[in-house]
Amino acid sequence: MDGETMSQDNYFHNRLRQGNFTHVLDVPKEGRVDAADPNNVYVGTAKVGSLNSDPAWLIQKITTAGTTTTLSFAGGNTVDNKIWNSRATYTYSS
C-alpha cells in the first residue's frame, strides 16, 4: 500500500466517521498511506494537487508494539508543512 491514496483505504474513512482527521474537511484534501511496515504506518494529508515533494503535508505515524498502538505527528505538531517523501526522517511525538 506504499503511496496508495487514502480514498481507497477503509482506515481513513473509518477515522473520518469517528470524528478524527477533521482537519481534512476544511479544504479539499488528498492523502497517502505507507503501510510497508505494518508496525509503523504513515498517514499523510495535503491540499489536493500537492506533490509528494512539496512541504504541504500533515503526517501522522501509527506505531504498533504488541497490543499498544501509538499515534504521533511529524515534528510533534499538526501543521501541514512536512514533505511526504521525507516521512521516515522526521521525529514523531504527540
Q: Which helix (H) or strand (E) holds 55?
A: strand 55-65
Q: What is the pLDDT of residues 49-91, one digit of tens each?
A: 999 999 999 999 999 999 999 999 999 999 999 999 999 999 9
Q: What is the pLDDT of residues 2-52, one digit of tens each?
A: 444 444 344 555 555 444 554 445 678 899 999 999 999 999 999 999 999
Separation CA 64–CA 10 (nearest Å): 18
Distances, alpha carbon 41 to alpha carbons 49, 72, 79, 87, 91, in Å = 23, 11, 19, 10, 14
Question: What pTM value is reported for the model?
Answer: 0.72
Domain containing 25 equals 4-93
How many domains does one find in the chain?
1
